[in-house]
Structure 1
Amino acid sequence: MAQFRNKVFLPIVGVFLGAFSLMMLLSYAVAYWRVTTEVTSDAEQMINYVEHKLNYAMRNMYKLEQLHYEKCDDKGRAELEQFLLHHFNGGLFFVRSSQEQRYTYCSVVGEIVVAQKDRNFENLILLDEVNRQFPLAVLNYNWREQDSRSLFLGYIGKKNTSAIRITLDDSYAFFDPECSKCRHVEVRLTNDSLVYSMGQPLVDLVSTVRIESDRYPFYVASQINRNRILKMMTNSLVFSLPLSLLVSFLCAYLFKLLQRSERSLKQQLKRAIRQRELVAFYQPIMDAATGRIVGAEALVRWVRPNGEVIPPVRFIDELERTALINPLTIQMLEQLPEDLAPIFAADDEFRCSLNLVPEQVEQEDFCCHIERLATSGFPTHQLALEITERLPLRNLEVANQHLERLKALGVVIELDDAGTGYGGASYLQELNIDILKIDKLFVDTLVLSPNNTPVLDAYIQMAKTLKMEVIAEGVETHEQSLALLARGVHLHQGYYFSKPLPAEEFIQFWLAKQN
């Protein structure tokens, strides 16, 4: 009997132990993969962040060289202060003329002196090996009788030698303070000079994820230790056994339903674009001071064969997600001169605007298409393109190049949803914007909270300083219109004047305002 029990019991125990060991190994492997994927993604975010800092500093370097700075006196500091006011996102910068002491730099907050041990510049990296004008280095320095250490980007010009301190944030969303003992992140130059570190040096180290920048000589190294993997493994193991199959079946079923629904909407939109059911409705832009219509914004509407008009909130996300927005934008763009032909012919200053998603601003094909339209007689001087802050531009440099080509054709560039999205002041500084559109969110405060409109007032003042026109969107009441006029904003758009209208009705509305 004992032998029989052993023959039955021992294999069961063996299978159980084998299955348990395999489960533990798989759980550990999955936990390691999840941690590595997360750390890699975080390191890539850090790479993009530092690259953006260096890109911006590089552009400011050329502007620093144009300063009429001669020496660190009252006049020199005034020049630096004026530069800082116009480049407040550029970081702290230091300048010395070729006549001043080699290791002493001037700034609006005082002088800094390069530490004696770094004056041989052994850890310096030249970004431009040919002209040797852009040094990058981590330096120790004395500022206000305090010793500090920072990353500097320099520029050796004809008149001055300039340096911008590249400052990094003290904390990041991806770095959990409670996990400071299970994660260590470093930013280093390729000569291994330490730029910045987060977390404590780790023991029981398993691996290090190293991501290098393909634009600048630095990398991000993120260490992973065993404790973090075991913690991830334990957390997932508690729920994985009883729930994994059930959740997997439910997720697969829901995903299948969602995929079927999305496929259906996508096919409907493809058919609607092909049959030209997605058309432009036009909302007038008024000069509230004179009552004259100066332009319009083309807004997409889905007009079913039965006459039903579907608002964009029900389909615009699907258009953007599936890239169907690209052929639709081209279709609406090419239709504008036909829809508004009488107005374009009668008023050469009338301008119609069209919204773009960030991808289109960065697409070479879209820019080339408008250039081809211009050669065929398209009235590009009566076209305005709106860039929204709702979604981010991935490559500001490419976007700016395309916008400059479009502006050369007479196209006006507008910044839509100002103050509500990703770009903020950086779009105004780095892109050649002509018109700032104030979002309805801020216009509503004129009535809801008339004594608390600092953001609206700041954007209006910024636009005036940058010599931009301002259009206020979402104007729905007479009181809002008067309050905007009092602030010097006379171009208004909103339901107070008219809802978006089909092309024929808009032309009738325009003709009525002309009489």
Structure 2
Amino acid sequence: MTLVFALFALSSAYFYSAWSLRSESLTDARKLLHFVDNKLRIAEHSLAELNALDFKQCDVQGREALESFIFNHLGSGLFLIRDVDAPPWTYCSVVGNLVIEDKDRDPSRYLFLDGQAQKKPLAVIGHYWQGQKRRDLFIGLVGDDRVNAVRVALGETAFYTDNRNPQQKMVSLNLTNHVEVLKFGQLPETVAMTVEASSSSYPLYATTYISQTDLLAKFKHSLLITAPLSAMLVLLIYYLLRLLHTLRNSLSYQLQVAAEQGDFIAYYQPIVDAQTGRVVAAEALLRWRKSDGSIEPPGYFIQTLEESDLINEVTLQILRRMPTDLAPILAQSKSFRCSINLVPKHVELPDFSDELTRLAAQGFPTMQLAVEITERLPLHDLVSANKHLKAMRDLGVCVELDDAGTGYGGSSYLQELSIDVMKIDKLFVDTLLYSPQKTQVLDANIQLANMLKLQVIAEGVETAAQSADLLSKGVRLQQGYFFAKPLSAADFVDYWQASTKETVDDNAQFLSKGATNE
């Protein structure tokens, strides 16, 4: 954590320092270019007016006319005129002639603002004026009878650059042919970065050279700002990562991912006619197939799933897969039913019944489907629940009451809802094994089902004795580990086919023995 903070603080301080210096230098360069651009625009305009000046030759009268013109155009610079008949490369000024250096008389060193016309030259030119050698930026205008030029005044440009520490930073202004116009400061011994900006109006660009010393000083100053901010940001990132880690490891998040990936599958537990040994139905029980291939039973996740909005989608996923999972059985036995568990929101809201109606229209075998509602979770709206259960029954769906006598419903579910089958909970079936003298509740449930003309299914049958006792009480349909544990779809199909073959073989053997006795 400390190392992360240190690295983050140092890197953010460095990048902030570099960004800050770059921004400052870019601003300086743009200010310089804007200033020079403005000077050149004024000079261009003045040269056009100079062309109209009545100038004959570089005598007293000509210089007085030129002096008067300069007085009215003080912001432009030093104006020059050369008549086409005057000596070449020698220009007239208010204080005498100005002579261009030999090396700068080559036109290829010039840039032309008007392109191929070559009437507006721009160049840095060395010249002799009043006995002194200088280099200045000139802009010219070539006419038919004379050439006008102005030496652009750039002395004020120092005001537009950050020249507080000339030893650490240098700013240079250049023409696009890389001829230097002017510069401020000295080139640092070690350049950390360069910042360049170009003029949008003239062939000029400005370059700022920033030293490592300047960058280091800025970096140290930036640490005072970035260190506290970095600490806050690192703590925030750490908190968010912990929160994300907690979320990703939460059961709710894992269930959502599993639902999106279709990782919930059905295992099928047989329901057997204990009198014939034939598998007549099954209950689809939810399982979670994890990425490593392991199968998670519902005890770990079912409560969280039932309390979430995911339960509807997961139940529908199981429902849609059932015809494929059990295709061989559903095709061979039209009386076979498979039940699926519903929670209150499935029957109190229309979504599930509406989806079932849509699936029925597409050929879903609703006549071979049963839905189980449980007393473990309360139904708050029995009127709506009965309406939607009736819609399912109209499609041929069998309605079963699961966990009868163990939860919230009691006799109200049996009285108010359209129930076809009562499933007796393992809690009461176990009394046959552990408290055979206390089976009154079990007997009462069986008697109640018979009075209401409901089929009865006993759950949790684990021994042959329990199965025989239930059969003696008239309960033929039984479910539990005595017959089979919940099986994968493929294993259940094999189990059903084996059971069916054994039943057929037993019947054939019985009929054969009967024929012999006759």
Q: TM-score, normalised by structure 1?
A: 0.49
